[in-house]
Chain A
Amino acid sequence: MTLHFELVTPERLVLSEDVYMVVVPGTEGEFGVLEGHAPFMSTVKDGTLKVYDRDGAEPRAIHVEGGFAEVSESGLTVLAERAG
């Protein structure tokens, strides 16, 4: 049960790893992405991504600005102008 998660900024590929869940601050509300999520695209507002490595684990927080999220069969990709 892992979700492939990639965080990309114009300067580099920040993260590319398998995680349990990611909570994304979408423009129309936060949403969590688990493995097997339906294909989905959303703009992301400036805020904090929460990355859960395992079920019940403490989330890691990553600040993103100017973002866009895409969920496809291959996992979740977040494009952000600034991250970290």
Chain B
Amino acid sequence: MASLKELKLRIASVKSTQKITKAKQMVAAAKLRKAQAAAEAARPYAERLEGVVASLAGKVTGDSAPRLLAGTGKDNVHLLLVANGDKGLSGAFNANIVKAAVAKARALIAEGKTVKFYLVGRKGRAVIARTFPGKIVGQYDTTEVRTPGFTEAQAIAQDVSSRFFAGEFDVAHLFYSAFKSALAQEPTEQQIIPVAIPADAPASTGAAVEYEPDEEAILADLLPRNITIQVFKALLENQASEQGASMTAMDNATRNAGDLINRLTIEYNRSRQAAITTELVEIISGAEAL
């Protein structure tokens, strides 16, 4: 049995761990509210842009369609754009995104396709580098930025698009964690190049719409912006998910630490009592011997 002193030290150490997890939980709860509000505020723009792109894409077809919409005509090389967080202490948040990306990569390789990775954020880099050595073609570092925002999304989208136009890949998929609630975050895959047009795209309203300059020019202007906004949305969803996952994980950790403290305290009290009893027995038997 551990000595009294050891138990005491152990309890103190678990208590300080609990303080850390408790603090992290409260920080995550506060940040979650902010991240959630940011994700909601970004929704109107994304929705409207998506609607416009969908209605235009229906009108522009054939050879005149921009390459971002039509694709390269091949689908041999796939780029997996994996958006992760920079910090741990958030449960399975990063692991789930990486797992989804790795599963997709395995499926694509099994089909005989070439897979490349482009990573955002610090987490997950090691796992992917180990599983698919030499497949990481680029990464975007967000460690210096407090909350990745539109500027970062623009830089990422520009980098990825220029790689597309340089012919480095044919199809790009984006992996991030969609925020459902503080308890549920869902790793999500989305094709961003060529732009996937939702099947339920609103058909043209019939009203004659005038375009200035023309449909192709507007679409060519909007498509790169659409990619930026998809990346931006993914970054925001990721932030909300990360805080949600972190809050849940830290809540669990705090509770576990509490249980552990209770158990250790009981053990400590028992050993203390046992020690006292032994001492008493020794004194009494000593006195009786006289």
Contacts A12-B41, A79-B45 known; A70 to B213 CB distance under 8 Å? no
Chain B residues with CB below 8 A from A79, complex form: 45, 48-49, 52
A43 at the interface (CB under 8 A from B): yes
Closest B residue by C-beta to A41: B211
Per-residue CB contact flags for chain B residues 27-41 toward chain A (1 = under 8 Å, else 0) read: 000000000001001
A8 at the interface (CB under 8 A from B): yes
Chain B residues with CB below 8 A from A43, complex form: 212-213, 217-218, 221
Other-chain contact of B221, A12, A40, A68, A73 (Cβ < 8 Å): A68
Inter-subunit contact B212/A77 (CB<8 Å) = no
- Would you call the interface of chain A mostly helix, strand, loop, or mixed? strand
* Residue tally, chain B, CB below 8 Å to A: 29
Closest B residue by C-beta to A77: B48
- Chain A residues packing against B (C-beta within 8 Å): 8-13, 26-28, 38-43, 66, 68, 70, 72-73, 77, 79, 81
Extra contacts, 16 of them, besides A8-B45, A26-B212, A72-B207 (Cβ < 8 A), are: A10-B150, A10-B153, A10-B232, A11-B42, A12-B42, A13-B41, A38-B208, A38-B210, A39-B207, A41-B211, A41-B212, A68-B52, A68-B218, A68-B222, A79-B45, A79-B49
